[in-house]
Structure 1
Amino acid sequence: MTTLATLSTPVALIDLPRMQHNIQRMQQRMDSLGVRFRPHVKTSKSTPVIRAQIEAGARGITVSTLKEAEQCFADGITDILYAVGMAAHRLPQALALRKQGCDLKIITDSVASATAIADFGRAHGEVFEVWIEIDTDDHRSGIKPTEAALLDVGRALHDGGMRLGGVITHAGSSYDLNTPEALAAMAEQERAGCVHAAERLRAAGLPCDVVSVGSTPTALEARDLAGVTEVRAGVYVFFDLVMHGVGVCSKDEIALSVLTTVIGHQADKGWAIVDAGWMAMSRDRGTQKQAQDYGYGQVCTANGTVLPGYVISAANQEHGTVSFQGAADTDIVARFPLGTQLRILPNHACATGAQFPEYQAVSADGEVASWSRLHGW
């Protein structure tokens, strides 16, 4: 039987009891709010994780790459939303999926893109289902709910022979908040803006069946989702230190970690050196702008118990520096002898997971199973 002690580090661990807890927590939240839940699988990119989400009640999935869509479709999942603005060079790949029977939805936020989709669709005898991306928080891409361009895009799709399926938004700026009140206000802003966009399309005689919103923080803190048909969220399945800083999870709910081994010391500096550098943890320093900066990750014992104050304070490609925040630990050699295994909680689960070709899924009894992870576009 494979156990933690037999693994060659660094490796990415999934704490299965924590993951299942997180899945149930989110699904129950969505059920109580009366909306469909379409998880974003870009966090795990792993079939066993996605299966667990669907078995808990998810209806359809969200992907960030068409390669994810291809793999999920090959695994028998047909209801797939590709939630990245559709680029013209990817239309043949999207067409191939739809021709095979995949119920793939794509998104756009400009007349130029909408026209390109419609022209390509007509040329190949395909009616793409397209959702319009709405900007509800000035965070990234999308059309403002009140912009004239919204109706222009809608008409370009509808009159161009495509199916205008709905509107979609993502309140990514929720990651910058850290109180329930602020998160609830952002969730309402996200809801109201997307619903308003849908109402404008309908008032103009255009179809808009789906109103899709979501981020992990707003999904967990939304008070009311009137007018919304579905919610999307992704990082909740593992959580991470950024989500802890936002205030939507405890450290004991973070299901992804990196198992690493102490390979050296700088005793005079109070450092232990581990074999998890930025190639394992990623370069993501998302907690740097939060109230608590965890460097490249929070240090825990091999069984997952948090060691308060100990972080990966610096990282090179294959070396991580473990130190105590505030003062040098003069007992670092005795505390973490050579060969000691440690778990490191990541700043950003999506980024850390992306460093590894597979996960080691750890059950409640300590048994370990390898779960493959998808890479590429």
Structure 2
Amino acid sequence: MTTLQELDTPTALIDTRRMQRNIERMQERVKTLGVRFRPHVKTTKCLPVVRAQIAAGAQGITVSTLKEAEEFFDAGIADILYAVGMVPGKLPQALALRQRGCDLKIIADNVAAAREIGSFGKTHGSVFEVWIEIDTDGHRSGIKPEEEALLEVARVLQESGMRLGGVMTHAGSSYDYDNHADLLAISERERAGAVRAAQRLLEAGLPCPVTSIGSTPTALTAEHLDGVTELRAGVYVLFDLVMRNVGVCTVDDIALSVLTTVIGHQEEKGWAIVDAGWMAMSRDRGTQKQKHDFGFGQVCTEDGAVLEGYILSGANQEHGILSRSGETDRSIAERFPIGTRLRILPNHACATGAQHPGYQAMRPDGNTETWPRFYGW
């Protein structure tokens, strides 16, 4: 164990008390909505975090890379949804996981991919479970619920001997809203679109055992999930400033921060220079288009108290620029002397976590321990 004061900087910190509170909040929410919960683990890519999610009641996990699937399967987690469109070059990697006993589900949103999956599966004597991705908000990928392609993809998969596992969607555009009424509308659009796609498959005599939806904002806003069987969400476990601006958490819920040290000043500019640049925070400027722009992050004291008005306003590779938003603080050097240790709350927890080989998990007693995370595809 190491104390916070003994840690080098920059270092990614997870406040385990906040993390556990976030996990319990989401799990209670899912229980109220009456569906299964399959968390998206790309946010942390960290086994101790995922074990805490499963201990709270999560059933299966969602991953964004096959590397994640391999790592978590090796750790004993078998029920895995790979929620990125499958391409032919990754089918051998997926097959190897299934042959080892992993209950891996893959997705497709076009006929070409479905044909490749079916052909590869038949050639290798394997039956892949495939979910069809549905586009419910025009955010990124998927087939619209009423498109003919939905039935075409399903039939190609069935005719090639693959198992049609269901439909899934992700309301990524929910990140673009910041009030309850809009979030409620997008959450209902997500639910209704996925349920309609499932209904069309069933009406055509095709199987659809799973209807899976999810994003952190819609999961925390939806009033009901009639027709849905499972919910997915990821960033809720740590939260971040984008989610604070969306309105589904407060800064007091954000469990991830980056510990940093003041290394210099530009007093005439009102700058303090810290050793957390974009290599520690990431280049993600997700709050830039929102009503409250936090620059590269919100500045806090070493013990986590928010310093209102102070943000990481700029970032080079290893240098961060700390300043007061909207004004020049000429007393910046007096306020933050050389050696002052601070914490920065991130815009995007997934992106900031990805900059670090591991987290320092801060326990309520003030001690920390290292939680590794992993990289790769």
- TM-score, length basis structure 1: 1.00
Q: Which residue of 1 aligns with 2:217?
A: 217
Q: Which residue of 2 aligns with 1:35?
A: 35
Over aligned residues, Cα RMSD in angstroms?
0.5
Which runs of 4 or more aligned residues in structure 1 lie more than 6 Å from their structure 2 counterparts after TM superposition? none
Is 1:115 the counterpart of 2:115? The answer is yes
Q: Which residue of 2 aligns with 1:239?
A: 239
SS at match of 2:44: coil
Q: Distance in 2 between matches of 1:9 and 1:275?
A: 7
User: Counterpart amino acid of 2:13?
Assistant: L
Alignment map for 1:179-258 (pairs within 5 Å): 179-258=179-258
1:159-183 Cα offsets, whole Å, 9 max, x none, are 1100000000000000000011111
Moved more, 323-332 or 42-51: 323-332
Q: Which residue of 2 aligns with 1:271?
A: 271
Q: Distance in 2 between matches of 1:243 and 1:152?
A: 37
SS at match of 2:189: helix
SS at match of 1:242: helix
1:241 Cα deviation from its structure 2 partner: 0.2
Q: Distance in 2 between matches of 1:53 and 1:87?
A: 29
Alignment map for 1:63-78 (pairs within 5 Å): 63-78=63-78
SS at match of 1:208: coil
1:207 Cα deviation from its structure 2 partner: 0.3
SS at match of 1:67: helix
Q: Distance in 2 between matches of 1:289 and 1:114?
A: 37
1:326 Cα deviation from its structure 2 partner: 1.4
1:4 Cα deviation from its structure 2 partner: 1.4
Is 1:373 the counterpart of 2:368? The answer is no
1:111 Cα deviation from its structure 2 partner: 0.4
Q: Distance in 1 between matches of 2:28 and 2:374?
A: 28
1:252-279 Cα offsets, whole Å, 9 max, x none, are 0000000000000111111100000001
Q: Which residue of 2 aligns with 1:131?
A: 131
Q: Distance in 1 between matches of 2:87 and 2:183?
A: 32
SS at match of 1:53: helix
Alignment map for 1:172-183 (pairs within 5 Å): 172-183=172-183
Is 1:295 the counterpart of 2:295? The answer is yes
User: Counterpart amino acid of 2:133?
Assistant: E
Q: Distance in 2 between matches of 1:83 and 1:215?
A: 13
User: Counterpart amino acid of 1:9?
Assistant: T
Q: Distance in 2 between matches of 1:358 and 1:368?
A: 12
Q: Which residue of 2 aligns with 1:282?
A: 282
1:126-165 Cα offsets, whole Å, 9 max, x none, are 0000000000000000000000000000000011100000
Q: Distance in 1 between matches of 2:5 and 2:254?
A: 21
Q: Distance in 2 between matches of 1:254 and 1:168?
A: 28
Q: Distance in 2 between matches of 1:135 and 1:160?
A: 24
Q: Which residue of 2 aligns with 1:150?
A: 150
1:3 Cα deviation from its structure 2 partner: 1.1
Q: Distance in 1 between matches of 2:324 and 2:330?
A: 10
Q: Which residue of 1 aligns with 2:86?
A: 86
User: Counterpart amino acid of 2:17?
Assistant: P
SS at match of 1:286: coil
1:14 Cα deviation from its structure 2 partner: 0.1
Q: Distance in 2 between matches of 1:23 and 1:180?
A: 21
Q: Distance in 1 between matches of 2:39 and 2:184?
A: 20
Q: Distance in 2 between matches of 1:160 and 1:181?
A: 44
Q: Distance in 1 between matches of 2:360 and 2:9?
A: 11
Q: Which residue of 2 aligns with 1:325?
A: 325
SS at match of 1:289: coil
Q: Which residue of 1 aligns with 2:161?
A: 161
Q: Distance in 2 between matches of 1:16 and 1:303?
A: 14
Q: Distance in 1 between matches of 2:327 and 2:218?
A: 37
1:297-340 Cα offsets, whole Å, 9 max, x none, are 00000011000000000000000000001111121111111111
Q: Distance in 1 between matches of 2:247 and 2:2?
A: 35
| Unaligned ranges ≥5, structure 2 | none
SS at match of 1:291: coil
Q: Distance in 2 between matches of 1:305 and 1:166?
A: 45
**How many matched pairs?**
377
Q: Distance in 2 between matches of 1:132 and 1:304?
A: 43
Is 1:26 the counterpart of 2:32? The answer is no
